[in-house]
Structure 1
């Protein structure tokens, strides 16, 4: 909904799915008699936060929201412990499709790909202390929606969530929301990292998130982003001038005297800089996003490829191709619910090696207090 039309009366019905109302039924909230909060609410009874969260078993996939008929998801709030941000896979299916339109590691979808919290203050993604993740991407559907989360880890995971959506009487003709994840770890020498490729149809590209791990000294962001669409073949229609330029920064993101400087704005930012700690964390890590909301990249027949170069500098003012760890999330809207996509991410493909030391086995530990 355009905020300029906030005063307009509409015929839709607002619904919300959470562990307190699994199907979003009208008047269906707060009725639970069993759940993760039952022990804490034992003196209060029904209606007093009996079921605020769910436990997703190791190796299982949990249905966050299953919705019938036409509608639009307008907001997702979700949280879990940071250990799980690169072990959970978030998926979305539209109109009964067998393949997901969204298939992204949980943390990367919310611009927190490294398993370390970063505050994000943007128009469509907000990440708030400490791991309160919010999506305001509009997600319309014509004949049903299914949101799931897969736990690829070897431990059970507690997840709190709420999915707010609109019920409609008639389906609209809006495009479908898509998000895809790819990782090059490590990027082969003198090659580019592919962000998106092989998408057929009419749509518009609306956003990029990169979790970029640097594997060498020196500046790493000289490479260009290129967009090949419609009639493009050997050369792209859109060719940027550098990685930091695409994300709205300049001159190495370096504020003199401060070095790399985090920033987060409605449409673009670099909210995360992870610096070496002098022990196990030896490499620099960055998180960057750009949302093409006022400037969507419209394609009519195909988005054949989007890629980014990894370039630094070598002697003689020559470019140095880098072999970095680059994970990308590509966000776009398309006239169909299914698109060409990469292989599904698994635990090994998502794993973050931040260099933490193994914890000695000193026997059973007390359980962590529940969140929420």
Structure 2
């Protein structure tokens, strides 16, 4: 990982650390803790400036707040959020690199941190960590050369209080470094005999690095038999990479079903089946699941283009596959040479709604 990873932790460099928060909205050197007004002003009224006067921001309904607008060259190293779980699917995180007008990152806040069902689910992985009770952390490497803007939109009907901190390093960015992209898609329900599209319309060169699935089962029985397919560099009808099942893709097996225990969750550095909602028996209708796969030691590299899909597939009588019409929401992460986003609309509030 050259200058960007733990492998180089002992090396003394010319990099300089900065941090954006409500107490230092510009990230400027020596500019933290100067607030005299903010969401903590009442609590700090006897103490004054420098005593947690502005620990959070309030994003008004139907508006957005610029969390960070900073100059490079730099690399975002860590982001932390805390927000009430009710709003994990009513806020949208957008990221813009350089002078792009189309966001490279456009994802509901909860899904970006593997919390797509707006309920706390612990995650203990390399790029995403979610701690009690809803501390949202990400360590996705986000290099930029001239400018980065991170924006939080609130299309919902009520104001939302958000705590956040964005840590970045002022450092030269290597010529080969790509820009982080992330997009969200939902099929609710999935159309008959169709596959859910994780990613399409992405030009190369680049490499695919991660998938999060918020999966809702709309029928009884096992739901994870479908293949994950990856179409690379002009593949048409048939993909270059074809998996063997949904639970296989996230490193599980045999339906995550430990005999006598039912669905069994796990969260590991690169793979996880970390959430089961409404668990009132194995393979019941209307249960919801969260799972992830990070392609960090095994990125999927492409030169011209990439498209990825996942099937929703169960079983019917006579040992026959049953195409399902489940509720499938996915977040896909990749690095690309260009900073401009792929131009997906939304997400809209109705589309994100947890029903």
Please indicate the TM-score interval, normalised by the length of the shorter structure. over 0.9
SS in 2 for 1:50: coil
Could you tell which deviates more after superposition, 227-236 or 316-325?
227-236
Corresponding residue for residue 226 of structure 1: 229
Out of 321, 334, 337, the position equivalent to 1:335 is 337
Corresponding residue for residue 196 of structure 1: 199
Out of 17, 25, 30, the position equivalent to 1:27 is 30
Report the Cα distance in structure 1 between the residues aligned to 2:332 and 2:178, rounded to whole angstroms: 16
Tell me by how many angstroms 1:171 deviates.
Answer: 6.6
SS in 2 for 1:190: coil
Report the Cα distance in structure 1 between the residues aligned to 2:344 and 2:8, rounded to whole angstroms: 38
Corresponding residue for residue 95 of structure 2: 92
Corresponding residue for residue 139 of structure 1: 142
Q: Give the alignment's TM-score, normalised by structure 2.
A: 0.96
Deviation string for 1:73-115 (max 9, x for gaps)? 0000011100100000000000010000000000000000001
Q: How many residues align?
A: 350
Tell me if 1:346 matches 2:353.
no
Report the Cα distance in structure 1 between the residues aligned to 2:258 and 2:156, rounded to whole angstroms: 39
Corresponding residue for residue 208 of structure 2: 205
Deviation string for 1:317-341 (max 9, x for gaps)? 0000000000000000000012424
Report the Cα distance in structure 2 between the residues aligned to 1:28 and 1:4, rounded to whole angstroms: 31
5+ residue gaps in structure 1? Answer: 354-372
Checking the alignment, whether the CA contact within 8 Å between 1:56 and 1:159 is kept in structure 2 is: yes
Report the Cα distance in structure 1 between the residues aligned to 2:179 and 2:173, rounded to whole angstroms: 16
Corresponding residue for residue 328 of structure 2: 326
Report the Cα distance in structure 1 between the residues aligned to 2:173 and 2:278, rounded to whole angstroms: 51
Out of 135, 151, 154, the position equivalent to 2:154 is 151
Checking the alignment, whether the CA contact within 8 Å between 1:142 and 1:171 is kept in structure 2 is: no
SS in 2 for 1:112: coil
Tell me by how many angstroms 1:282 deviates.
Answer: 6.5
Tell me by how many angstroms 1:63 deviates.
Answer: 0.3
Deviating beyond 4 angstroms after TM superposition, the runs of 4 or more aligned structure 1 residues are 169-172
Report the Cα distance in structure 2 between the residues aligned to 1:293 and 1:47, rounded to whole angstroms: 40
Checking the alignment, whether the CA contact within 8 Å between 1:143 and 1:171 is kept in structure 2 is: no
Tell me by how many angstroms 1:342 deviates.
Answer: 2.5
Report the Cα distance in structure 1 between the residues aligned to 2:237 and 2:118, rounded to whole angstroms: 37
Report the Cα distance in structure 1 between the residues aligned to 2:174 and 2:41, rounded to whole angstroms: 39
SS in 1 for 2:347: coil
Tell me by how many angstroms 1:167 deviates.
Answer: 1.2
SS in 1 for 2:328: strand
Classify 1:173/1:36 alpha carbon distance in 2 versus 1 (closer, same or farther; 3 Å). same
Report the Cα distance in structure 2 between the residues aligned to 1:103 and 1:298, rounded to whole angstroms: 22
Corresponding residue for residue 275 of structure 1: 278
Question: Which structure 2 residues correspond to residues 1-372 of structure 1 after superposition, within 5 A?
Answer: 1-168=4-171, 172-276=175-279, 283-303=286-306, 305-353=307-355
Deviation string for 1:26-67 (max 9, x for gaps)? 010011100000010111111100000000000111001001
Report the Cα distance in structure 2 between the residues aligned to 1:170 and 1:115, rounded to whole angstroms: 35
Report the Cα distance in structure 1 between the residues aligned to 2:54 and 2:246, rounded to whole angstroms: 45
SS in 1 for 2:297: coil
SS in 2 for 1:137: coil
Report the Cα distance in structure 2 between the residues aligned to 1:169 and 1:318, rounded to whole angstroms: 56
Q: Give the alignment's TM-score, normalised by structure 1.
A: 0.92
Could you tell which deviates more after superposition, 205-214 or 168-177?
168-177
5+ residue gaps in structure 2? Answer: none
